[in-house]
Structures are given as structure tokens and as C-alpha cells.
Structure 1
């Protein structure tokens, strides 16, 4: 079994202590996202083939990574977008994330971290030209620290639209047609390839073009290469077009306090902040 921690929340940033307690007790109790009873996911060494961590800030999780690594190999899906604070109110600055990725790569090897430039969102602040320039600046600094970058075009779910609408007209969101999305993603993928990064696209096969390939965010092959051992896994995506290996997620919705307006996992940012003890979002450096 591969454990995902978590595409519903940022466990490394906000729930490191709880994760370490779960490791110590050998299981995680997970709130059923569909309204059924809570359930347990085993974290016992004999039951875990690998961990996939999803984060924007792994710095509070250094001990958690060490302890998880004693049980099974891990990969970090690390999101770094460098978007304006208007869109990402509590996200650490890109410099913070890049420094932490460099530290992990130096200590663990570059194969441990996959960079996510995700989602690519079109707004009055983040148009196509912004993304081309912004991505190249970030890619110049992350080349050599990571070997893959994953993209996706923003999907504006109902809760995302609602949160974005609350901040109109400051955040003017658009949803261009597939041709426009495909053209920008192809430009970003080309820039990635020029810098030695493998560009992949998450769960949007209709937007694929060379040199991108389909992403496997829960990547059993990468885990096996890191762990130097094979295990059985099967492809079982989380939504149509997803090429991920089967995994069990141990996170909860409405428990990430980063404050990204476009987030699909948070319905109420105040509720999410309360879930992490009412901590205010991390201050950001001026832009």
C-alpha cells in the first residue's frame, strides 16, 4: 500500500506533529470525505510500501520525513508557483520553498522531490506572459534540484469559483479555451525540457502536447527506484485521466490554512485556519 499525505491538505506544513503521533501508534484515523464513518489506514512498516507527501512548506516536517523514511521510501510533491499574494495569501515565498527543496535534494537526492507548477491559473495578475516569465525564473533555480515538473490547467470547481468571486474585482479570473491552455502549457513544458526537467501533465490528457507526458503523481516506479525494492501496485486514478498508482489518503478537507483562493480542498478558509489552531497565514516577503 502507498500512503498519500495528502492531496486533501498540507500535512507537512500544518499537521506534522499529528502525523508523527500516527506513525508512533501505527495507524491514522481518517474522516470519511463522503460522509460515512471514519476509517483507519495502517502505517505499520509491514503494510506501507511508500509515502507520497504533498506540500508547499516541508520545513516544519523535517523530523516527520526522517521518521517516515525509516518505514518506507517517500516522494514529495512540492508546489512552488510564485504567484502574487492576492491569490496565495498564506503561502511561503518561493525563496523559502526553493531553499528547502535544495536542502532535501542535497541530503536525499533529487529524485525525492517532484516540483509542481500547479495549477496554472489565468487571472488579470497571472496571464500567459506572467506564467512564461515566472516559470522560467523558478525553473532556472530548481534545475538540478529536481528532475520533473508537473503542470495542470486550473479547474474551477464550485468552491473555487465561490472563493474567487468573494475577492472580485481584485482577482479577475478567466477560463480560456483548450487551444489557449494547450499553447501555454506547451511553452512551459518546452522551457522545462530546455533546463533538463521532465515536464508532465496531471489528469488532463486532452491538453497534452510534446514534450509533456502524463503525470503519475503517486508514482510507484519512482518509489521503487528510491527504495531499491519492487512491490505490487496497480493503476487506480483519483479522477478521469489520472494515471496514479493506487494509494490511501490520510488527510482531511478544510484543514489547510495556506489560503489559496483557487483551492479545491478548502470550502471555508476561516474554518481551515481554525482546524490548525487558528494560526495566521505565514507572512510573505514583499513582491
Structure 2
């Protein structure tokens, strides 16, 4: 199975100490965000955890400790966008993140024995008076030049205007179809010059016409390549589970150990943060020694063990047809 760390919050940036404590203890507890009384226990053991999947804007705090998780395979999505403090108030300077990305890429790909285990996310794409279509294209070209040779994939998406986004970023508007096409075509062309393919995330397949790969950003095939399985005669066969969004139907669902509304990056476009006050209040209840990322177990609460098994299997051998030999 996959442990997702995490699409709900930036765990490497803000909760690395807690995460490493969980690795040492060999388990983690997760409170269901939609049913606070339901708590799941995940065993943290390489025999059942096929991959630790990290999503972050800043991998720096975890980099010195990768040896402590060396028994696991890893895949990383690192978000690098052109936004400044006006939209991403607590994200470090992008030149710094580029250098951390390069260090991470060298370490992870060497560890996994695979390819493309550190992928770049340039998302969500927001259009404003400052961040125009033209500015996005210029910024992407600069970043793609710097990241050439350190990643083979850039994942893009165009901002969705959920209620929480409207609250935190009221002036933001959806990206029109014409701008989506212009940006996608330009990114595909620029990416091709630097060995970087463009994938989409939760976008309809219509952008495939313009050269984007719309097959999914976390499909079984993506994990197989990142984890170096094909060269070892192995395959990745997760059970079919349904995402909340139809556009993600081809992607793999992992066990997410994060929590919503506790990411202090406070990005204005974030779908997982419902407001600054809620984030700061939750962050105060974080205890690095707790088995939960936020708060602690309350007396009488029941913990439910997750069903866990490895999804990595030996690739079945194909017997030749004797009449074709």
C-alpha cells in the first residue's frame, strides 16, 4: 500500500519531527476528517508499505533524515510556482527550493533505483493582474531550465474556485479555456526542450490534444517507474478504489496521514485550508510525540486497524507458444 504524507498538509515542511517519531514507533493514527470519532491505525512497516509518497513545497527539513526512512521506497511531488508572498506568504524563496529540489532528486533516484521519483508540480495555475499568461510562460521557462536533468515530469492544473478558495482569495477567477490552451501548448513546447513532459491533474482529457499527458499523475504505472519495479520483474497492482473526483479515477488511493487546515504555508489558493485562524489554532495543538498529527487520543476512543498489504507483485512469466518457436 501507499502512505500519503500528505495531500492534506505539507508534512515534510512542518511535521518532519512528528513523522520521524512515527517511523521509529512503527505506527501512525489518523482521525477521519469527515467523521472525527473514527480513528485509523496504519502500521509503518516496509513489508506492507510499498511507498512513502510525499507532497511538499519545501522538502528541506526532511532531507538530513532520509537515512532514517531508507528501508522504504519513496516518491515525491514538489510544488514550485512563480507566486510571491502575496499568494504564498510562508513558502521559502523559489531559488532556494530549486536547489533543495536538485539535492532531493539526486538522493531519491539513487535510493529507489528507479526514474522520475521526484516530480515537479506547477499548480494550481492562477491568472491575476500580476500573474498573467505571459508571466506564467516566462516563469515556467526559467524553472524548466533550472530543473533540466532533475525531473522528467511537470504536473499542471488550473485553479478550481471552491468555497474555501473564494473566502481566502475573493478576487480570483477561473482560468478561461483559451488561456488554458495557450499555457498548455507553451509548457509542452518548453518542457520538451528540457526533457520534461507535461501531465495534468484533475483536468479533463481535452488538453491531450495540445500535447499534455492526461492519463493521471499518480497511476500504478507512475509508481512502477518511480520505484524501479519493471527492471526487477515486479508490478504494482493496487485495488481499485474510487476518488471523490471522477477525473482522478485512474490514480491510486493511498492512506493519507495528514489533516486538513493545518498547513502554515497559508497559500491563498489552497483547497485544504479553510481559513488562517483555523490553521493557527490547529497548529497549536500539534504534539510531536502524539500518534496523531493534530491533538491526542481522548479517553475511550476506539482505534481501528487499517487493512494493509503490499501491492507489489512478481510479474507473471509469459510462456512462449511452442508453435511459434
Q: 1:235 to 1:178 in 2, by over 3 A?
A: farther
Match of 1:150 in 2: 155
Distance 2:53 2:260 in 1: 17
The residue matched to 1:213 in structure 2 has which SS?
coil
Residue 256 of structure 1, CA deviation: 0.6
Unaligned 5+ runs, structure 1: 166-171, 280-287
Q: Is the 8 A contact 1:82 1:93 kept in 2?
A: no
Matched, 1:247 2:265: no
Structure 2 residue matching 1:151: 3-state secondary structure: strand
- TM-score, normalisation: structure 2: 0.78
Residue by residue over 1:234-262, the C-alpha shift from the partner in whole angstroms, topping out at 9 and shown as x without a partner, is: 45453211131131111100111001001
Establish whether residue 263 from structure 1 lines up as the match of residue 276 from structure 2.
Answer: no
Q: Distance in 2 between matches of 1:256 and 1:236?
A: 27
Alpha-carbon offset, residue 67 of structure 1: 2.5
Secondary structure of 2:156 counterpart: strand
Once the 2 structures are TM-superposed, how far is the Cα of residue 218 of structure 1 from its aligned partner? 2.8
Larger Rg: 2
Once residues 96 and 275 of structure 1 are traced to their aligned partners in structure 2, the CA distance between those partners, rounded to angstroms, is 28
How many angstroms does 1:93 deviate by? 1.1
Q: Does 1:55 align with 2:56?
A: yes
**Residue equivalent to 1:282:** none
Partner of 1:35: helix, strand, or coil? Answer: coil
What whole-Å deviation, never above 9, does each CA across 1:113-140 have from its counterpart, x for those lacking one?
1000000011111111110111111111
Consecutive unaligned residues of structure 2, counting only runs of 5 or more, are 110-114, 287-325
**Superposition deviation, residue 111 in structure 1:** 2.1
1:7 pairs with 2:7: yes
- What corresponds to 1:164 in structure 2? 169
Counterpart contact for 1:2–1:50, Cα < 8 Å: yes
TM-score of the two chains, using structure 1 as the length reference: 0.87
3-state SS of 2:53 partner: strand
Cα distance change of structure 1 residues 278 and 236 upon mapping to structure 2, 3 Å threshold: closer
Cα contact 1:159–1:267 (8 A) shared by 2: yes
Q: What is the 5 A alignment of 1:1-287?
A: 1-36=1-36, 37-70=38-71, 72-109=72-109, 111-165=116-170, 172-209=171-208, 210-214=210-214, 216-225=216-225, 226-228=227-229, 229-236=234-241, 238=243, 239-242=245-248, 243-277=250-284
